[in-house]
A and B are shown apart, each in its own frame.
Chain A
């Protein structure tokens, strides 16, 4: 169905979902608020927050877009031995394993150059890599479940899965960062 290009029609189509997603994101903000002291004490951890959230969301949305296209083309089956499913899952974990070490190092360097880092570079890299690996596994799980649910309820995965997965992965990004920081520091 095509939305008319009027303020009213666009708002009617977008606002309910937007407000629901805002509530989900406030949940992630509350988790962030619960370790605010730790974050404010260590600037390198604060630098990690947006990039961890964003990369987790992107891992999910890239995977969701690929599964959604495969689904439309009829080349996807929900079976762990399915090549499309397994290959994309492996790629998600590999992407995470590539970018998160660089993200951790980048966050430490940038914090050191701007406000001065308190933690050692190794600690920040370990926090980033561990968070990234856990998040990639969660992103695969959430995306496969959401795509399967869209398929079962006969919804177009393009409309539903990508925003849902992106925002859920945003929240998981903060939760995982919180747990990993608690574990390591």
Chain B
């Protein structure tokens, strides 16, 4: 193939996934753009945003890839009703790892911002937001990944090609939406909001 043929093919195959994730990213951006009051109320929250969003993508992307491989190998049946205990363990591991990484992100951000004198919000508040947002998005994203990968597989789509665009799009939208919800709940509980 010539350079031109390779480029045309790569371009055509790349556009759908990129367009889907751009729509998801813009929706996430709208939520983020309306959160200036929350960012002012919780100093250091903005520093956490890339880590929390990337954790969603990394953890649930990996869960999706694992479930897709399990389907290909016949380890997992594409049915939620008669789900294999292996599937529950994979979901539990994903949610647990997501929570550990989110908490770790809050600790590191707090430590660095404190060390450079940036005056972050209290550690308990950052950790509570990270954990609450991690649980809320974890439940929704793991359910969504499993259901979509199963449904796609049963209809004859290759689950591997579904996982990437799904997780980047849904991960951004739900990641930011549940971050906003978590911040509001924690601020209300702290008596600030």
Whether B59 pairs with A47 at a CB distance below 8 angstroms is: no
Decide if A149 is an interface residue (CB 8 Å cutoff).
Answer: no
- Per the CB 8 Å criterion, the residue count for chain B at the interface is 69
CB-CB under 8 A for A94 and B6, given A22-B108, A51-B26, A110-B33: no
CB-CB under 8 A for A88 and B93, given A30-B47, A36-B46: no
Which of B29, B33, B89, B164 sits near A7, CB closer than 8 Å? B89
Whether B26 pairs with A47 at a CB distance below 8 angstroms is: yes
Decide if B147 is an interface residue (CB 8 Å cutoff).
Answer: no
Whether A170 pairs with B26 at a CB distance below 8 angstroms is: no
CB-CB under 8 A for A88 and B18, given A32-B47, A54-B25: no
CA distance A39 to B32 in the complex (A): 10
Whether A83 pairs with B3 at a CB distance below 8 angstroms is: yes
CB-CB under 8 A for A58 and B109, given A40-B36, A83-B6: no
Interface positions of B from 10 to 58, Cβ below 8 Å from A: 10-11, 14-15, 17-19, 21-22, 24-26, 28-30, 32-36, 39-40, 44, 46-51, 53-55, 57-58
Decide if B137 is an interface residue (CB 8 Å cutoff).
Answer: no
Q: How far is the CB of A101 from chain B (nearest CB, A)?
A: 11
Interface positions of A from 33 to 69, Cβ below 8 Å from B: 33, 36, 39-40, 43-44, 46-55, 57-59, 61-62, 65-66
CB-CB under 8 A for A61 and B15, given A15-B97, A18-B55, A115-B34: no
Q: Which of A25, A106, A107, A114 is the most central at the interface, judged by chain B CB atoms within 10 Å of its CB?
A: A25
CB-CB under 8 A for A29 and B100, given A61-B164, A87-B5: no
Whether A25 pairs with B105 at a CB distance below 8 angstroms is: yes
Q: How far is the CB of A2 from chain B (nearest CB, A)?
A: 9
Whether B33 pairs with A111 at a CB distance below 8 angstroms is: yes
CB-CB under 8 A for A50 and B29, given A28-B50, A29-B109, A91-B10: yes
Whether B6 pairs with A14 at a CB distance below 8 angstroms is: no
CA distance A62 to B24 in the complex (A): 17
Q: How far is the CB of B38 from chain A (nearest CB, A)?
A: 11
Which of A30, A33, A53, A58 sits near B18, CB closer than 8 Å? A58
Given A11-B97, A43-B33, A99-B18, 8 more pairs with CB closer than 8 A: A25-B54, A28-B51, A29-B46, A47-B33, A55-B22, A87-B10, A98-B15, A103-B22
- The 9 A-B pairs with the shortest beta carbon distances in the complex, nearest first, are A87-B6, A51-B25, A91-B10, A47-B29, A29-B47, A10-B93, A25-B51, A5-B86, A54-B25
Q: Can you report 17 A-B residue pairs in the complex whose CB atoms are below 8 A from each other?
A: A3-B66, A5-B66, A5-B86, A5-B90, A14-B62, A14-B93, A26-B109, A30-B47, A43-B36, A48-B29, A50-B25, A50-B32, A50-B49, A54-B24, A55-B22, A92-B14, A95-B18
